[in-house]
Chains A and B, each alone.
Chain A
Amino acid sequence: MLARIGLDEAEVPALAKELNTIIGFVEQLSEVDTEGVKPFTSPVENKMRWREDVVADGGYAEHVLANAPDKDDEYFAVPKVVE
């Protein structure tokens, strides 16, 4: 559900088995003593860089929309969301 990938009922048993195998494999991490270890989120400990608060790019809606499956004027078009 979180993944938002539609599944046929018929696909579920095989997929569940594969996912269980993978989850079973990663379970071995529980053997490792990680008490007090700081999580490692990135090999690069950059501080986020600041830049001038000005428009740096943009102004070409036609490029942004060029690959849209459906569009209307300068907007992406999607199935109706609000009744």
Chain B
Amino acid sequence: MSKLTDLNLAQARDGLVSKAFSAAELTQSHIERVEASDALNAYVLKTPEKAMDMAKASDEKISNGTAGPLEGLPIGVKDLFCTKGVRTTASSKILGEFIPPYESTVTQNLWNDGAVLLGKLNNDEFAMGSSNETSCFGPVNNPYQGANGENLVPGGSSGGSSAAVAARLGVAATATDTGGSIRQPAAFTGTVGLKPTYGRCSRWGVVAFASSLDQAGPITQTVRDAAIMLGSMASFDKRDSTSVERDVPNYEAALTGNIKGLRVGIPKEYRVDTMPAEIEALWQQGIDWLKDAGAEIVDVSLPHTKYALPAYYIIAPAEASSNLARYDGVRYGARQTGVDIDDMYSNTRAAGFGDEVKRRIMVGTYALSAGYYDAYYIKALQVRRLIAEDFDRAYEKCDVLLTPTTPSAAFAVGKQVEDPLEMYLNDVFTVTVNLAGLPGLSVPAGLDANGLPLGLQLIGKAFGEEELLRVGEVLETAAGFTTRPKQWWSA
């Protein structure tokens, strides 16, 4: 038998059900692999004892016939999800040693279904970044290295989650996506990333970045695994006022492999001048794969695409500046002293926030300030509606859209840190989806000339996750992506 850590989520689940191995054995092998992964810096907190306790409880449930859908499956959790009694930092110094007295709805759903917590995963500070380099715990290294052995970023903000899944440090991971933070890191690491429709997964207990854009979802090895994870993560939650009251379908059952007659839209505005030829070629390859599977290819137009990033970089910082006002050193986190309370606030925030977070708070407060509110914030919200209406019109002619996930493969650690704008351009193909509140799925589809993974993105209709996953699985099968990173980080 191959190593237990080689199994994907569905295989591990099936092995537990058939009693080929126990949850304790499965968890123990993942714990050992996580222990040997420090060179990746994917985990910011390991919880091996808790994991073994949960795994043993799972074994009892399996033996007495009360196992849940994820019973005994060890996963990593992005450090943006509050976990009761387990330190949660959003990878920011300002949260200090914050220990939540409550559990996020999404993680509670996972534990209710039997999943096992291996630990908390690194991310860009408050999920603000596209390379996992703004974390107070330092960058995560991509399990894939460059041609000369240089360390590459795993994408961001869910870089710990993508690196962990690519390196098999857990059968799956939770992540969040505000402008591309699930799909872009998935593309950079040869993994599957699913951002569900806004309102599908509860935001309760997830550290807020930009509340009208944030959405939780899974990073997994396969599309099937993403379907299984979403089935447990999704729920209606009355504690989140934007949670949508809607049944959670059986996503795995939607994977029929049949997409005959499905109309796949190709948005011409995504054909940007700076796109490398190999991404252009991969996109064409994806079109051909879906056509061969019986889909109909339709050209569509999303005319306001070029304004998505500028609108996002007003809306997201504006919401962030409001959300992050709570970090004032009064109720939790690392307080700095001051001569009076205003001085205490300023010192606490100066010491606790990193540079990118400070930049975004300042842009946000500027965009929301009295003289500029209409010119920036309201204008951006109007453009956001035009972007959402572009999708409505496109979906009159097609069922899903196919695009590249990112404009490049993973880049070297340190390469883009100096230029915030260049970093923002990573999200050019993903950010429109958040603005419109739609579901998006990144599927590993090929390699660039240096052997680095590239992803293709499918965009669905609101609450069209079943169709999205169905097409995703067809794309995955056609691409046959089986590459694994060389294990340079441990013996």
Contact = CB atoms under 8 A, between A and B. Distances in A.
A and B held together in a complex = yes
Interface of A: 2-7, 15, 18-19, 21-23, 25-32, 34, 37-44, 46, 48-49, 51, 60, 63-64, 66-70, 76, 78-81
A6 B351 CA distance: 8
B241 A49 contact: yes
B289 interface: no
Contacts of B421: 21-22, 25
A28 B310 contact: yes
Candidate in B241, B304, B338 with the most chain A CB atoms within 10 angstroms: B241
A76 B346 contact: no
Contacts of A19: 359, 362-363, 366
B218 interface: no
A1 to B, nearest CB: 9
Contact of B334 (A7, A18, A31, A69): A69
A66 to B, nearest CB: 6
B379 to A, nearest CB: 5
Contacts of B345: 4
A25 B310 CA distance: 6
B350 A7 contact: yes
Interface residues of B, number: 71
A67 B88 CA distance: 12
Interface stretch (B36-44, B383-391, B471-479): B383-391
Contacts of B323: none
16 contacts: A3-B361, A4-B325, A5-B353, A5-B358, A19-B359, A19-B363, A22-B420, A29-B383, A34-B382, A40-B388, A43-B199, A44-B437, A68-B332, A69-B330, A81-B340, A81-B341
Contacts, number: 164
B369 interface: yes
Given A6-B346, A32-B304, A48 B420 contact: no
Contacts of B461: none
B331 A32 contact: no
Interface of B: 96, 98-99, 101, 197-199, 212, 238, 241-242, 244, 304, 306-307, 309-311, 313-314, 321, 325, 328-335, 337-347, 349-350, 353, 358-359, 361-363, 365-367, 369, 375-376, 378-386, 388, 420-421, 424, 436-437, 462
A11 to B, nearest CB: 9
Nearest to B213: A43
A37 B212 CA distance: 19
A7 B420 CA distance: 19
- Give the secondary structure class of B's interface: helix
A36 to B, nearest CB: 9
Contact of B381 (A25, A28, A39, A68): A39
Given A6-B350, A79-B340, A38 B385 contact: yes
A37 B307 CA distance: 15
Contacts of B306: 28
A5 B361 contact: yes
B199 A37 contact: no
A3 B333 contact: no
A26 B313 contact: yes
Given A23-B363, A69-B332, A79-B344, A46 B99 contact: no
A8 B328 CA distance: 19
B99 A40 contact: no
Nearest to A36: B382
Contacts of A80: 340-341
Contacts of A38: 382, 385
B335 A69 contact: yes
Contact of B242 (A25, A44, A63, A81): A44
B356 to A, nearest CB: 10
Contact of A44 (B198, B338, B384): B198
A82 to B, nearest CB: 10
A25 B311 CA distance: 10
A46 B384 contact: no
Nearest to A30: B379
A52 to B, nearest CB: 12
A37 B386 contact: yes
Contact of A18 (B321, B347, B359): B359
Contacts of B199: 43-44, 46
A69 B339 CA distance: 16
Contact of B376 (A26, A66, A78, A79): A26
Contacts of B310: 25-29
